[in-house]
Amino acid sequence: MPSPRTSRIRSRLAVLPRALLALASTAGRRRPESRPARILVAHHLLLGDTLMLTPLLAKLRELFPQAEVMMTVSPPIAPLYSGRPYGVRVASYDPRDPAGHAALLAESGYDLAIVPGDNRYSWLAAASGARWIVAFGGDRPAYKSWPVDELRPYPDIPMAWGDAVATLVDGDEPLPYDPREWSPPIAAAYERPGAPYAVLHVGASTPLKLWAPERWRELAARIAALGLGIVWSGGSGERHIVQSIDAQGRHASYAGLLDLPQMWHLIAGARLLVCPDTGIAHLGRLVDTPTVALFGPGSATLGGKGRFWRDSPYVALIEEPFPCRNQHVLFKREIGWVQRCGRSTRECSHGKCMDALEAANVYREAVALLDAGHGSRA
């Protein structure tokens, strides 16, 4: 079996000649289409960033109701889009999989392509026959943006990232999120917890976003006293985190047992979700479950409600200001108003910004959501 590096090189070699040929054959004749009939959203983002593209999808559907919209999505995430929210069709895409490239390129010919994250995917858009490519400027190195026809600046005022991405298309902002726009995905059967319950998702994309075990134990005890069952959750390889919190197994754990469609249904059935700033927090917002997201190194502005999610029962809890949340880089772009920390564990051994979040404050926010009637589902 070829190594991931070999597969990635093969895929790039399949894309590059085709992209160069497409760009050369349309040189001097590339123009934006006022009413595009086929639109491609090209990226390879993680779960949270992918779900934050929803305002863009909503805006495209409102502006171009008859257009075919295709979006590349990482294979584990693709099943979440099986109901075609906003009429969007997804292509399961992994840059290391030549077969995925071939399947996507077989559907070439787009009037418009939008590249919301890493501009290297502008080459994929060009190879897919996109006649006009739009992306944010400032990506590094510069060659990643060579196929882009229109480089737009990031907005100069603070906003949620999903709202910012929607500015890559001209027009009024989309209507606020309506959960009815997103049909639940089909999920394999599993033993679900008895209602009512709260999901405490303890995993995160980096150790610097993990909350201390004693804080989770305190929060679980407080929430259980409200009459809610406690359900632990975590991703693949995160069972040890639950073990460090609940060594006696007092509460049910689904850590490492569920795929994303199953997680959807687990969270959708919950009265409450508490988790670090990670993709699961955005999934909670998508299914309209009251969610308290714990922000440490990340930006509560970028990952918060913003305009599109303004009606969602979602709280971005953060300790501000925090002295080392002082970096201004987002997708390798310098953006003055961004305040976040992208340091690795080599640079920062422990997330003191997560320690600043007290269990009592998290509990208070959770109770406020429940008292507002957001957690009254059966």
75-106: per-residue pLDDT in tens?
999 999 999 999 999 999 998 888 877 888 88
The rounded distance, in Å, linking the Cα atoms of 302 and 160 is: 4
Give the model's confidence band at 378: pLDDT under 50 very low, under 70 low, under 90 confident, else very high. very low
The reply to whether omega before 196 is within 30° of 0 (cis) is yes
pLDDT at res. 104? 86
Shared domain check, 282 and 144: no
The per-residue pLDDT for range 241-300, each reduced to its tens digit, is 999 999 999 999 999 999 999 999 999 999 999 999 999 999 999 999 999 999 999 999
Instruction: Decide if 114 is inside a domain.
Output: yes
Domain shared by 119 and 12, yes or no: yes
Where do the DSSP E strands lie in 234-334? 252-253, 272-276, 291-295, 314-318, 329-330, 333-334
pLDDT for residue 14 is more than 90? no
Q: Which pLDDT does position 28 carry in this prediction?
A: 85
Of 122, 141, 173, which one is at a domain's C-terminal end? 173
pLDDT band at 113 (very low <50, low <70, confident <90, very high): very high
Q: Is residue 192 part of a domain?
A: no
Write out the DSSP string of 3-65.
-HHHHHHHHHHHHHHHHHHHHHHTTT-----SS-SEEEE-----HHHHHTTHHHHHHHHHH-T
Q: Does any domain span residue 350?
A: yes
Q: Is the pLDDT of residue 227 over 60?
A: yes
Residue 180 within any structural domain of the chain:
no
| Confidence at residue 272, expressed as pLDDT on a 0 to 100 scale | 98
**Same domain membership, residue 160 and residue 120:** yes
Kindly write down the DSSP assignment for every residue of 143-170, as one continuous string: GGGTT-SEEEPPPSS---HHHHHHTTS-
- Residue 336, burial from CB neighbour count under 10 angstroms (0-12, 13-18, 19+): exposed
163 lies in the same domain as 288? no
Contact call for residues 295 and 316 (beta carbons, < 8 A)? yes
132 shares its domain with 211: no
162 and 208 part of one domain: no
pTM: 0.94
Tell me, yes or no, whether 24 and 168 share the same domain. Answer: yes
- Over range 185-209, report the average pLDDT: 95
For residues 263 and 126, membership in a common domain is answered with no
Q: How far is CA 190 from the centre of its chain?
A: 25
Give the pair of three-digit tokens for residue 143: 């060659």
Q: What is the mean pLDDT of residues 207-220?
A: 97
Percent of residues, the chain, with pLDDT higher than 90: 86
Instruction: Indicate whether 374 belongs to any domain.
Output: no
For the chain, the average pLDDT equals 94
**How many CB atoms within 10 Å of residue 344?**
9
Q: Contact 185/259 with Cβ under 8 angstroms?
A: no
373, part of any domain: no
Contact in structure between 359 and 298 (CB atoms under 8 Å) = no
Number of domains observed in the structure of the chain:
2
Check residue 253 and report its DSSP letter.
Answer: E
What is the spatial distance between Cα 35 and Cα 55, in angstroms, rounded to a whole number? Answer: 19
- Shared domain for 70 and 216, answered yes or no, is no
**Residues written for the chain:** 378
Same domain, 68 and 120: yes
pLDDT for res 361: 97
Is 243 domain-assigned?
yes
Written as six digits, the tokens of 171 are 């027009």
pLDDT given at position 103: 84
Q: Are residues 304 and 169 in the same domain?
A: no
Transcribe 98-136 into DSSP letters.
HHHHHHHHTT--BSEEEE-S-TTHHHHHHHTTBSSEEEE
Separation of alpha carbons 233 and 222, rounded Å: 18
Mean pLDDT of 156-164: 97
**Which of 173, 188, 207 is at the close of a domain?**
173
pLDDT of residue 9: 61
Find the domain containing 118 and state its range.
4-173
Give first-to-last CA distance, the chain, whole Å: 48
Closest CA to 53 of 204, 173, 171, 164: 164
What local confidence, expressed as pLDDT, does residue 241 receive?
A: 97
Question: In sequence order, what DSSP letters do the residues of 334-365 get, joined into one string?
Answer: E-TT--B----TTT-SS-HHHHTS-HHHHHHH
- Distance, in Å, from the CA atom of 316 to the CA atom of 294, rounded to the nearest integer, reads 6
CATH of the domain at 9: 3.40.50.2000
pLDDT surpassing 50 at residue 353: yes
Based on the domain organization, do 247 and 316 belong to the same domain?
yes
Tell me the residue type at 351.
G
The single-letter DSSP state of residue 198 is: E
Residue 202 lies in a domain: yes
Give the per-residue pLDDT at 99: 81
